[in-house]
A and B are shown apart, each in its own frame.
Chain A
């Protein structure tokens, strides 16, 4: 026989486990988007405001592919490649000419690009949220462990994120292209002198980052069952917070930051006021910028003249 307080405690543990699980699910989505931010920042020191929009574009490509009857295993790579290509085009047309103009003009341009995609999407696709179609070759089941419910969707999101991250780790650390990427982010001019086509490497970085965001978009579409043109704004900003939290420019930092942010948010929603959910992310951002601007995993660097 359990006493009242004991069962209260058990329920509390189940609650906690549920919010942690939701947090990890959401955190892995943030981590996927944050990786793109961090890679682009690492390589050209640009805060790519439009990154959240690549996530939106990925979700919409997934939406149209699945609506037309494509199975998930085909729609998923389509969305990744599609949003990657959009990112490469944008990099080519907008970010490359502005690259040497300084950081603030580049930031404003990125802001403009982000607004362009949001409102262009709103005017062409309609502002109302659309129901994500049912995926034919995949059934969402819920498994129960005591009072803890785990859905197939959550398992798919967490495992896909894990696989993509392992792939990214391999790509950056164990391939020639990855070596070129690291060299370019370390010193662009020196890399160019060593015969690396830095423009191509930067385009490739945009492609990889945006396709990860596109993947996150499809996963979120499946998880929440809706897609809309404005869906990229808030997750984009939060993924940026995650990237800064982990240390911008550091790839494992983005993953850590994403998970921490996702868990913190869900704990706030679970145990405090749910309307403060968005405020928490920005609160974390400001705290981290003031206490340790280089991020959790970053090293402090003195500013040079």
Chain B
């Protein structure tokens, strides 16, 4: 039972990560490969709060503050990285964000206060299903509502054609930064929840590989589709556990399977399983004519 609860917790955390990366990659069309870096920033700063400064108040209040701190620090890292990098386009942006993600990891590795290469221990277990899924709902509602409003339309127009958006009078740099910083911030919340769910953080748990796995989640579901990235996150959290039932050899080949999946998806369905479409849930939400 504990095992299933843990899986559900991790699914929730990865849903937040996937939806927030989808805001950057799928909705705004800016290709970022450094999401694990923001996740790490949020996780470490929230963990530092709860280990060193947390006042003796109710746990969920502390968790709430930790999530806020995770959001603020990761969003701040997003500003630091986004403002210079978002002038780049396409594959250059991908490489620059990859580089920043690795730099963040190396910096954490060299900080002794938060454990450095030993890892950060002694984080209280405050995350539970209720709070994780509350944040999942908040994230999804936020992104969906953002997409419906003026800002969201501007962000989508950048994905469709940046030059055309620019010439229609949209300040593309501002909206790109907005999407990037918000995405980074939500990744920070996921980090805070992750830190308080696993109670142990290690810099090697935030490698480039995890950025790729989160990317695979949104590609699997469909770049630009929120429901798609939710489903992609759930599939890729549960799949390795299911593979474990097929024996140790199969689960060893997990990353080989992922990489083949990535290649095959790109060759046959570059838009992902759902493409840009949303999965319609009957009796839920009003009909859209967009």
Nearest CB in chain B to that of A47: its residue: B91
Q: Which of B97-105, B119-127, B226-234, B281-289 contacts A (4 or more CB under 8 A)?
A: B97-105
Bound-state CA distance A290–B84 (Å) is 7
Bound-state CA distance A273–B92 (Å) is 28
DSSP class of A's interface residues: helix, strand, loop or mixed?
Answer: helix
A107 near B259 (CB under 8 angstroms)? Answer: no
A112 near B88 (CB under 8 angstroms)? Answer: no
Bound-state CA distance A103–B29 (Å) is 12
Bound-state CA distance A116–B260 (Å) is 7
Bound-state CA distance A289–B92 (Å) is 8
Q: Does A244 contact B (CB under 8 A)?
A: yes
**A: interface residue count bin:** 35 or more
**Interface flags, A94-131, vs B, CB<8A=1, else 0:** 10011001111101110111111011100100000000
Q: Does B215 contact A (CB under 8 A)?
A: yes
Chain B nearest CB: distance from A125 CB in Å? 13
A275-B109, A282-B99, A286-B99 known; A104 and B263 CB under 8 Å?
Answer: no
Contacting residues, chain B, for A104 (C-beta < 8 A): 31, 90-91, 94
Q: Does B255 contact A (CB under 8 A)?
A: yes
Q: Give the contacting residue for B100; candidates A240, A278, A286; CB below 8 A.
A: A286
B91 near A103 (CB under 8 angstroms)? Answer: yes
Bound-state CA distance A97–B270 (Å) is 12
Contacting residues, chain A, for B273 (C-beta < 8 A): none
Bound-state CA distance A110–B91 (Å) is 12
Looking at B90, B95, B110, B215, which has the most chain A CB atoms within 10 Å of its CB?
B95
**Interface flags, B63-102, vs A, CB<8A=1, else 0:** 0000000000000000000001101101110111011101
Q: Does A305 contact B (CB under 8 A)?
A: yes
Q: Does B173 contact A (CB under 8 A)?
A: no
Contacting residues, chain A, for B110 (C-beta < 8 A): 273, 275-276
A113 near B256 (CB under 8 angstroms)? Answer: no
Contacting residues, chain B, for A282 (C-beta < 8 A): 99-100, 102-103
Q: Give the contacting residue for B256; candidates A123, A241, A278, A285; CB below 8 A.
A: A123
Q: Does A293 contact B (CB under 8 A)?
A: yes
Q: Does B252 contact A (CB under 8 A)?
A: yes
Bound-state CA distance A276–B258 (Å) is 31
Q: Does B290 contact A (CB under 8 A)?
A: no
Looking at B31, B261, B262, which has the most chain A CB atoms within 10 Å of its CB?
B262
Q: Give the contacting residue for B266; candidates A101, A118, A241, A279; CB below 8 A.
A: A101
Bound-state CA distance A70–B209 (Å) is 36
Nearest CB in chain B to that of A104: its residue: B31
Contacting residues, chain A, for B92 (C-beta < 8 A): 244, 289, 293
**Interface flags, A281-299, vs B, CB<8A=1, else 0:** 1110110011001000000
Contacting residues, chain B, for A276 (C-beta < 8 A): 106, 110
Bound-state CA distance A123–B255 (Å) is 10
Taking CB atoms and an 8 Å cut-off, the chain B residues in 208-254 that contact chain A are 209, 212, 215, 219, 252-253
Pairs across A and B, CB under 8 Å, 20 listed: A98-B267, A101-B266, A102-B270, A103-B91, A104-B91, A108-B215, A108-B266, A109-B266, A115-B262, A116-B263, A119-B255, A237-B99, A237-B102, A275-B106, A276-B106, A279-B103, A282-B102, A285-B96, A289-B96, A290-B87
- Interface of B with A (CB < 8 Å)? 31, 84-85, 87-88, 90-92, 94-96, 98-100, 102-103, 106-107, 109-110, 163, 209, 212, 215, 219, 252-253, 255-256, 258-263, 266-267, 270
